[in-house]
Structure 1
Amino acid sequence: SLPPSHLITFIMPAYFDEPTRTGYWSVPTFEELAYYAGILPLLGILLALRRPTRLTWFYVCLMVIGLWLALGRYGVLYRLAYDWLPPFRLVRAPGRAAFLFLVAATALLGHTLSTWLAVPAAARRARLARYWRWAVAVPGVALFAALAATGAVFMAVHPTDTSGRLWHQLGGYSMALLLLALGGGLLWAYLAADGARRRRVWGGALLLLMVADMWLFAFKMVRLEPATADAIWLEAKAVIGDTPARVLPWGVTEFSQNFPLAVGLHSLFGYASMQPEDVIALAASVPDPRSSAYDVLGAEYVIASVPLDQYLEGERPLTLVAQQGGTYVYRRGRVLPVARLVGQTEVIAEPAAATARVHAPDFDPAATAILDETPPCALPGEAAGGEAEILEMAPGYWRIETTSAAPALLVLAETAYPGWQVRVDGERAEPLRAYTAVRAVCVPAGTHVVEWQFAPRIYWLGGGISLLALVLALLAGRRLGKQRLAA
């Protein structure tokens, strides 16, 4: 959520500094809370309110809604949207709604300048002269007062742990005041200019100011060196090598969780959308790398940046494979194949009860699968023989060959995410959910080929909506062009 205190970053984007140079002090994370549109769009709001149109109020409402949603838990609108608009739940981080403010503020600046340019130059100057002086002077005085107050506090507390931050904020206030003065003056010069040639000159100056404003904020985030995975993943890769085996990162920082993709390791976890809720709930049910939950998720290796000596004893203990640099690689005591056949099932619809059953001492996940509904096939009720061989594995696609003397349930230790479709020998089959989080499907006796493909219907729905929006935009543009020609 965007804390109310972060609204000041719409004027001073580095008020809490930034993480690439000197550090960042505020709620995490900087990337989720940086929505600086520049000083000119803020001045554009003041300019728009002097001569508003219906489109002006639309943009203003869009900005208000965006900021209100971005407040998340600090406001009520996000809660209402989350409860009453189910698709809105996919947004996840409320602060991202501030993007609506960025779009609306920038579009409003362009619309406002076009609106004012439609007014004759003399009338424009008459209507703006007094108003614009006050519109720029009032926030200018406020910024100067904040600058003076911050300077006074700095002088009173320097040197202390906080004086460095105050010094940084003095620079931020000074830059905002300078940009406000330049922006206000250039906007007035642009709108007050008589000839098209002069207006082009002042317009170029406005563009230069806008680019300079954004660049002064953003250049620190431009990185020319390639992004490399954290050392723990590079060192783990050196030990584990090329294998489809699942890796369980233990105690690895949140923002490092997607790096296994870069080195070719198959991690159980990920960051942001790479963390399906059902998998996390199952994995976190017992905070122990020896847990049965990690058996059904197919984990073979455990990696950590510190020794895990406390897990080297007890039932199914870890075994140290190697230490590479500062990384410790362990093998789990019980490893189940990523794709396997079982002949017994238990039906437990309630996720919490199903998860508890996974950890029961008398439950054997190697022989029995827990489903949330009765499977559409008759299973022998005993340990399934046969094997499941992964023939092909690619993003969004799995091809597996099964061989068994009796009907069995193929369990694939991959997330049972909506949109996965399964075929057995080319015929559509019913996908099942096993152990609350992974995929399963019934296979007949004999040898068969099972194909899993990620093809969510919502892609087609989204594509249809986008296509319709594009057609409507083209029709609206054509109609607007005809109206302008007629005028």
Structure 2
Amino acid sequence: MALLLLQLALEKRSHAIAVGFAIVASGVALGRNQVALLLCALLLFAAVAELMSSQQAVRYLRERLGVLTTMAVAGGALLIVPMLLTLQFAHLSNRPAELLDDALRGSLYPANLATLAVPNIFGTHSSYWGPGAAASAEVDLTDDSGNYLFFGAVPTCLLLWLGVAGGRAWQPGRRLMTCTLAISCLFMLGRYTLFYGLAFQFVPGIDLFRRPTDASFVFGIALAILTGHCLADYVREGVPQLRPLGTLAAVSASLAVVSSAIAFSARTGHALDATRGAVIAGTIMLIAGAFLFAMRRHPARAAAAALVTLAAVAELLWWNTASRLNAEPWDSYAVLETPTGAEAAAIALLENAIAAEHRRGANPRVEVLGLGGPWQNLAMVRGWEATNGYNPLRIGLYDHLVSPGEQNWDVSQRQFPLSFNNYDCSLAKALGLTYLVLGSPLERLSGLSTLPPSELLLSGPPVWIYRIPGAMPRVHMLGEFGAEATRLDRRPRGEASPDQAPAEAQAASRLSTPLLSTESSPGIAKIVSAAPGRVEIATTSASRGLLMLHDLYYPGWMAEIDGKATPILRADVLFRALEVPAGTHHITFRFVPFSLGNLRAALNAVLGRPSGGS
């Protein structure tokens, strides 16, 4: 849609269509992943191609400068705020960049190109034996779904015969998609070509992502458009005369890719299975080609093209509808909606315990670890406050200090650094971690030097639930001495900031002893209401002190004391705090990422300038 609107806006010099393009293209860009980046590059190249293909490039550009300006202004207005906030998070996240060696592990193994026409050449729809983590260490970040490119034997036949052998892929109006197809192929092959390494080093943004195979989305788009052009040309012009070099390239490339796939399959004893799949796909291609050739006379070409299109659709539906690659049984995720049996009993027990904590004025956090994939998101679905989950990107300091791991179903990803060396450490208590929900007994959890004090609430299988005593209140008051020892906004000159100092050592030293004591608790603080993005607290104190809120410090939060804006301080590396005067007060924390103050801070962070505050 964006590509069509771009071409129409430039052709008709329409400002209205230019705005439409800006809206659609902004939606693409806001995907904020590598696919979005590559699609934006395609749109840029398409605009350049339109300019370069005109007979008078300077005049063409001058006549459409207003339309291009409309696109830039409208698109920029839509993108600037979400992109600023994205860059703000990336600056503070645990993974703002990737290493080339890691990214290359997400390359597409060349033999996987055979799946374009032969869907089951690696047993993808049964028991996968193709390239991936189990069979190829150099591409261990790929799997059967990422390596599956099935486009159809019929469309592949059209592209190889009409487009490559017949030369129509390089006709005017087709060259942009042909170049896109070639470049995206080189990109997704990753380590097997020089192109990706050069792009990673010299093209801005590529080093922010892993998996060259993401280019398969762009590859598929180019393939679909180019094949559509080939079929439309067949209807209009008939069968092209074969070109010797094009024919040689099409035949040799096809044989090389399929032969390498069969050879790879032979490593695991599946050469016969792979050959059988290749023969079936080859037969379909020959039948489709013979049919189109037989119907090459003008009156019959449109009907032949329609029938071939229906065959291509049927092929895609047969192999891809409700495949295990894109659909799973509802029962696999029942725990997220209607849990039953032991899982339902475990969830009910935990939620009753959490409700009892809430009635006592506590705000417990939960850690779910070592249970099935659906349990990764169960805390979010059920409204539990969790220390982990399925979360590849996290606030960098939190990730370093707590080390919860990217996927909580995989116990091996849960690390216990110096700052969080056990579930009863000071940081765990400050976070309010109270319940462990495990897929095995606590004593089997590797990485713990000693078992923490705990109360077994439920013994599995399949679920074990433990209560860890000693969690600190979510909110409390500190007196003068405790406040000065805790806050980070008054560091001596030359002392490293929280983002510069080694996070684990800093947290270990600051949180090595509990901060609650009778001397440092001059008043009472109580959460009146709490919801995502908003916390209201009532305080009463005889003297000025520091209100500690054990929620993460992050830009975009603002605080008010009795309706008056008050600066938020960073305390104990991770948390938020406020200076509160003596007396009784109503305090509100609100998350307002779109406020002018936060957008200014985000811009300063992007430009590398010091921020004026939270």
**TM-score under structure 2 length normalisation:** 0.57
Matched-pair identity in %: 20
Whether the aligned pair in 1 keeps the contact of 2:439 and 2:461 (CA below 8 Å) is no
* Richer in strand (by share): 1
Structure 1 residue 48 corresponds to structure 2 residue 153: no
Structure 1 segments unaligned to the other structure (5+ residues): 155-161, 369-380, 462-487
Q: Which residue of 2 aligns with 1:421?
A: 557
Q: Which residue of 1 aligns with 2:222?
A: 104
Q: Which residue of 1 aligns with 2:282?
A: 177
Q: Which residue type is aligned with residue 48 of structure 1?
A: G
Structure 1 residue 95 corresponds to structure 2 residue 213: yes
Q: Which residue of 1 aligns with 2:144?
A: 30
Distance, in Å, in 2 between the alignment partners of 1:88 and 1:144 is 30
Distance, in Å, in 2 between the alignment partners of 1:315 and 1:129 is 73
Aligned-residue offset at 1:303: 1.8
Map 1:206-221 to 2 at 5 A: 206-219=308-321, 220-221=323-324
Q: 1:3 to 1:323 in 2, by over 3 A?
A: same
The one of 392, 412, 422 aligned to 2:530: 392
Q: Which residue of 2 aligns with 1:225?
A: 330
Distance, in Å, in 1 between the alignment partners of 2:255 and 2:194 is 33
The one of 22, 39, 54 aligned to 2:153: 39
Q: Which residue of 2 aligns with 1:334?
A: 470
Aligned-residue offset at 1:54: 5.1
Q: Which residue of 2 aligns with 1:247?
A: 366
Map 1:221-300 to 2 at 5 A: 221=324, 222-223=327-328, 225=330, 227-229=333-335, 234=344, 236-241=346-351, 243=354, 245-252=364-371, 256-273=375-392, 275-284=394-403, 285-286=417-418, 288-300=422-434
Whether the aligned pair in 1 keeps the contact of 2:118 and 2:153 (CA below 8 Å) is no
Q: Which deviations, in whole Å up to 9, do the C-alpha atoms of 1:222-252 show, x marking residues without a partner?
A: 4463532388965542321163632112344
Structure 1 residue 10 corresponds to structure 2 residue 116: yes
Distance, in Å, in 2 between the alignment partners of 1:12 and 1:216 is 13
Structure 2 segments unaligned to the other structure (5+ residues): 1-105, 134-141, 355-362, 404-416, 489-495, 600-614
Aligned-residue offset at 1:210: 1.6
Q: 1:200 to 1:30 in 2, by over 3 A?
A: same
Distance, in Å, in 2 between the alignment partners of 1:103 and 1:36 is 13
Map 1:260-409 to 2 at 5 A: 260-273=379-392, 275-284=394-403, 285-286=417-418, 288-309=422-443, 317-342=453-478, 344=483, 345-347=486-488, 349-351=497-499, 353-360=502-509, 363-364=512-513, 366-367=515-516, 382-383=520-521, 385-389=523-527, 391-394=529-532, 397-405=533-541, 406-409=544-547
Aligned-residue offset at 1:364: 3.0
Distance, in Å, in 2 between the alignment partners of 1:150 and 1:77 is 24
Whether the aligned pair in 2 keeps the contact of 1:305 and 1:327 (CA below 8 Å) is yes
Q: Which deviations, in whole Å up to 9, do the C-alpha atoms of 1:467-486 show, x marking residues without a partner?
A: xxxxxxxxxxxxxxxxxxxx
Aligned-residue offset at 1:450: 1.9
Structure 1 residue 57 corresponds to structure 2 residue 175: yes
Distance, in Å, in 2 between the alignment partners of 1:129 and 1:282 is 63
Distance, in Å, in 2 between the alignment partners of 1:39 and 1:457 is 53
Q: Which residue of 2 aligns with 1:374?
A: none
Distance, in Å, in 2 between the alignment partners of 1:429 and 1:92 is 41
* Aligned residue pair count: 426
Whether the aligned pair in 2 keeps the contact of 1:341 and 1:408 (CA below 8 Å) is yes
Whether the aligned pair in 2 keeps the contact of 1:247 and 1:265 (CA below 8 Å) is yes
Whether the aligned pair in 2 keeps the contact of 1:250 and 1:304 (CA below 8 Å) is yes
Q: Which residue of 2 aligns with 1:378?
A: none
Distance, in Å, in 2 between the alignment partners of 1:31 and 1:341 is 52
Distance, in Å, in 2 between the alignment partners of 1:366 and 1:443 is 16
The one of 288, 303, 307 aligned to 1:201: 303
Relative CO higher for 1 or 2, CA cutoff 8 Å, sep ≥ 6?
Answer: 2
Distance, in Å, in 1 between the alignment partners of 2:304 and 2:220 is 24
Q: Which residue type is aligned with residue 163 of structure 2?
A: A
Q: 1:79 to 1:400 in 2, by over 3 A?
A: farther
The one of 574, 578, 590 aligned to 1:452: 590
Distance, in Å, in 2 between the alignment partners of 1:30 and 1:147 is 14
Q: Which residue type is aligned with residue 194 of structure 1?
A: H
Distance, in Å, in 1 between the alignment partners of 2:432 and 2:364 is 8
Q: Which deviations, in whole Å up to 9, do the C-alpha atoms of 1:332-357 show, x marking residues without a partner?
A: 24313445555522535255533223
Q: 1:149 to 1:319 in 2, by over 3 A?
A: closer
Distance, in Å, in 1 between the alignment partners of 2:262 and 2:430 is 62
Q: Which deviations, in whole Å up to 9, do the C-alpha atoms of 1:187-244 show, x marking residues without a partner?
A: 5457x3402xx23321222222222222233132344635323889655423211636
Whether the aligned pair in 2 keeps the contact of 1:298 and 1:335 (CA below 8 Å) is yes
Q: 1:404 to 1:430 in 2, by over 3 A?
A: same
Q: 1:185 to 1:282 in 2, by over 3 A?
A: farther
**TM-score under structure 1 length normalisation:** 0.70
Distance, in Å, in 1 between the alignment partners of 2:591 and 2:154 is 48
Q: Which deviations, in whole Å up to 9, do the C-alpha atoms of 1:247-295 show, x marking residues without a partner?
A: 1123446775223333443332222446554433222224533344433
Q: 1:76 to 1:333 in 2, by over 3 A?
A: farther
Q: Which residue of 2 aligns with 1:471?
A: none
Q: Which residue type is aligned with residue 387 of structure 2?
A: L
Q: Which residue of 1 aligns with 2:52?
A: none
